[in-house]
Amino acid sequence: MRGLIGFLALLVVLVSCGASKNTHHNNTTSTHINESQRNLVSYFKGVPTSKMKNRLKNAEALLGIPYKYGGTTTDGFDCSGLVCKVFEEKNIKFPRRSIDQAQMGQAIPTEKIQPGDLLFFATSGGDKVSHVGIAKEIEDTGEIKFIHASTSKGVMISSLSEKYWNKAFLFARRTDN
């Protein structure tokens, strides 16, 4: 019985918050989109507001912190716990689960994503939200990079141009800029 509970707990961790088949991520991702990927780019060319720059700076300060299921502190974060922490530092209260966070703010089309917008993913396939990240920057090419808590690498930067995240991406929402 104890082994079954341990197995089920491990299964939940791997399915939630972006268990990735490709665990090689780094800060210098390729912008090459192959034919089977969606062209997920933003045409945002502006500058984030000072409020958003501060929020992103707070998120960047958490890079490298390990993944921890249910984590909401610098001891470890899961994806929704990271979002809660980043927004909490600016006195904005967010729901604890990514599926509930997906109801916050207003829906925006991919091509209008700006730094600070929330990106939602279905990491288990289908269309059910199971992961969230915060858009960090829009490259000159339109590539969208985001900060999130990955089960394999902890708090890190990834790109919607990466095959895994490109396939899992569902939609974006803007809470306040």
Angle at 41 between CA 48 and CA 114, to 5 degrees: 15
Task: Tell me what pLDDT residue 9 has.
Answer: 44
Task: Tell me what pLDDT residue 113 has.
Answer: 97
Which one of the listed residues 17, 24, 32, 79 is annotated catalytic?
Answer: 79
Task: Tell me what pLDDT residue 176 has.
Answer: 75
Is residue 148 annotated as part of the catalytic site, yes or no? Answer: yes
Is residue 25 annotated as part of the catalytic site, yes or no? Answer: no
**What domains are there in the chain, each with its CATH number?**
2-21+40-174 (3.90.1720.10)
| Mean pLDDT, contiguous 10-residue spans, the chain (177 residues) | 49 46 39 73 92 92 98 97 89 92 96 97 94 97 97 97 97 86
Is residue 24 annotated as part of the catalytic site, yes or no? Answer: no
Instruction: Please tell me the distance from the alpha carbon of residue 39 to that of residue 32, in angstroms, as a whole number.
Output: 10
Calculate Rg over the CA atoms of the chain. 15
Instruction: Please tell me the distance from the alpha carbon of residue 52 to that of residue 116, in angstroms, as a whole number.
Output: 6
- H or E element that contains 119: strand 118-121
Instruction: Please tell me the distance from the alpha carbon of residue 152 to that of residue 143, in angstroms, as a whole number.
Output: 23
Name the pTM for this structure.
0.82
